[in-house]
Structure 1
Amino acid sequence: MKNWKISGVILTLIMIFASSCEKSGEPNEQATSPELPPFESMAIDFGAFDENGTSGKAATLVYDNKAPNGNWVFSRIVVGVWSSALYTTLAVPVASFQAAITQTPEKISDDTWQWTYSVDGFTSEYTARLTGQLTANKVVWNMYITKMGIEGFDEFLWFSGESALDGNSGEWTLKQSPERPDAMLRIDWERSGDEIGSIRYTWIRVLDDQENADPFRNSYLEYGLQEGNLDAYFSANVYDTNLQEFTEVDIEWSRDTYEGRVRAVAYFEDLLWHCWDSNGDDIACE
């Protein structure tokens, strides 16, 4: 009888141990933080069209299709509208998101993680708090930013977004500023392998700074990758204040050599491509 009791105790311990091992071995989909979307999902590399960017080109701001680098300069002006919005008007939230990638999050609830840190690179002191919430079919992101000191502001939800659970697609919505907390820019993105395969910036602001209807609303710039020597493109549909209408612009270029071409009927008054070489100088298209 005594041996039976001992055997029973041992059997019970074995069952408890086996049960605990089984539970600890069960996969937990929310055991780790959701993967941050890549920084390029918000701000792609505009270097090929920067005046002092990676291409090493230099050009005037005034477009002249008779200038030796007029085709590239015109393309740079079109792209520069969007680059300026991201790195000037929206510089703080963009830099805040970039900094999040180097931070370690903490879990603050069963399905939500939080990244909290200071943002470097500005004369004022900014603190960012990014949250990522796992849901059944997506991750919901919210970026809150606080500014200390002169003209400081309390925590402000500067942008929000969603990304697919596999991390291959998503969208962002960025507001203009704490002083004008209106949605300004929507970004839709998709990843192709290890890089962004396509991204579209859409201007969604309803009113401009003078409280008038924003004529630029619904303008967009789409970036993507394609096959061939000119392996990247921009497709733009933007409101031109001089023409007072929406115009289409197509741009293709090589990410290796920076040579490219542009087509814009409203500006060149033809349906032809207009090309530039790796130095940014106009050349005849082949």
Structure 2
Amino acid sequence: MKIRTKIGFILLAFVMVFNMSCDKSDDDDKLANDALVLPPYESMAVDFGDFLNEGSDSGKQNALAAKVGENWLYPRLVVGFWNTALFTQLVVPVTSFKGAFAHKAEVIGENTWQWSYTVDGFASEYTARLTGELTSEEVEWKMYVSKTGADSFEEFLWFSGVSDLDGNSGEWVLNQSNERPDRMISIEWTRENDEIASIKYSWVRELNDEDSDDLFMGSYLEYGLQGGDYDVFYNVHVYDLQYEEFVDVNVEWNRTEFYGRVMAPTQFEDELWHCWDSSGADVACE
């Protein structure tokens, strides 16, 4: 069975598209450094590198050297498009958040902290201002970004979010751009044992760039850890332009041995699991 070339177009069109603790003190510097801790960077951009086989570990590279089968290649393409969306189309807000970890916060008001800095890694100069406000129930986060030089724009709210007081769960909402500051992707995340246990990216944009109804609204990718041999899962629900309906792709795999399985009724024309081994080759499911 050949991989349908339509998946590239469909998903590319679809994707074109952040442990908190509090310690009261009279020392403002201590407050700035210790009182408000940023949510983990992975809460916005979880690392898909292991599944996409982009790491340097020699074991993972075995899959690249093998004759990779469709059973692993197809879900790799699906997950890869989300990875592309976060690190290319939304590279500025994602990189801006990552930059906050290299800077100290200052107290700017009662129970409110601010990180302000120039974002590194771009030819143009972007300035980010991240605020965190401690409330009785959660921490509220807001990231403002501005740009100088060519195609400059004034500060606008590029993303916002909340995290629980224990720092183990939260939400983000990323807006599309300064020209279209509309909700585009929402993120729900949880953390266990200092790693992301689950994260869900949902497409929430109501209108596309032509101001028509966004057909992909309601699409999502969900990642999580689970028990058993297949200890990581991806669930994808996406609007398929060819079939004019939503389709589902479910993936489970072992992040140590790299074998896994996929169920994708539209792609494989059945409701069965399709498996691959540690080298990426197609195998019969046991």
Distance 2:238 2:163 in 1: 27
Partner SS, residue 227 of structure 1: coil
Distance 2:49 2:266 in 1: 26
> Would the aligned equivalents of 2:68 and 2:279 in 1 still touch at CA under 8 Å?
no
Give the match for residue 42 of structure 1: 44
- Could you say if the C-alpha distance between residues 259 and 108 of structure 1 is closer, same or farther in structure 2, counting changes exceeding 3 Å? same
Partner SS, residue 101 of structure 1: helix
- TM-score (norm: length of structure 2): 0.83
The number of residue pairs the alignment matches comes to 253
Match runs of 1:251-262 below 5 Å:
251-262=251-262
- How well do the aligned residues superpose, as a CA RMSD in angstroms? 1.9
Distance 1:58 1:121 in 2: 29
> What amino acid does structure 2 have at the position aligned with 1:39?
Y
> Would the aligned equivalents of 2:143 and 2:160 in 1 still touch at CA under 8 Å?
yes
Distance 1:123 1:268 in 2: 44
Q: CA deviation at 1:51?
A: 6.5
> Would the aligned equivalents of 1:33 and 1:105 in 2 still touch at CA under 8 Å?
no
Distance 1:255 1:148 in 2: 42
> Would the aligned equivalents of 2:253 and 2:260 in 1 still touch at CA under 8 Å?
yes
Give the match for residue 221 of structure 1: 221
Distance 1:271 1:225 in 2: 23
Q: Which runs of 5+ in 1 are unaligned?
A: 1-26, 60-66
Distance 2:178 2:227 in 1: 42
Distance 2:104 2:52 in 1: 33
Match runs of 1:39-78 below 5 Å:
39-50=41-52, 52-53=54-55, 55-56=60-61, 57-58=63-64, 68-78=68-78
Partner deviation per Cα, 1:99-158 (whole Å, 9 max, x = no partner): 111211000111100001111112211111100000111000000111111111111210
Partner deviation per Cα, 1:221-249 (whole Å, 9 max, x = no partner): 11100112221000111111122110111
Identity of matched residues, %: 54
> What amino acid does structure 2 have at the position aligned with 1:241?
L
> Would the aligned equivalents of 2:187 and 2:201 in 1 still touch at CA under 8 Å?
yes
> Would the aligned equivalents of 2:190 and 2:198 in 1 still touch at CA under 8 Å?
yes
> Would the aligned equivalents of 1:49 and 1:80 in 2 still touch at CA under 8 Å?
no
- Could you say if the C-alpha distance between residues 263 and 99 of structure 1 is closer, same or farther in structure 2, counting changes exceeding 3 Å? same
Distance 1:214 1:206 in 2: 5
> Would the aligned equivalents of 1:138 and 1:163 in 2 still touch at CA under 8 Å?
yes
**Highest relative contact order (Cα 8 Å, sep 6+), 1 or 2?**
2
Partner SS, residue 35 of structure 2: coil
Larger radius of gyration, structure 1 or 2? 1
2:30 matches 1:28: no
Q: CA deviation at 1:42?
A: 0.5
Q: Which runs of 5+ in 2 are unaligned?
A: 1-22
Q: CA deviation at 1:91?
A: 0.5
Distance 1:136 1:34 in 2: 14
- Could you say if the C-alpha distance between residues 107 and 51 of structure 1 is closer, same or farther in structure 2, counting changes exceeding 3 Å? same
- TM-score (norm: length of structure 1): 0.83
Partner SS, residue 108 of structure 1: strand
> Would the aligned equivalents of 1:49 and 1:75 in 2 still touch at CA under 8 Å?
no
Distance 2:269 2:276 in 1: 18
Partner deviation per Cα, 1:165-204 (whole Å, 9 max, x = no partner): 1101100000011111111000001111211111111000
> Would the aligned equivalents of 2:129 and 2:144 in 1 still touch at CA under 8 Å?
yes
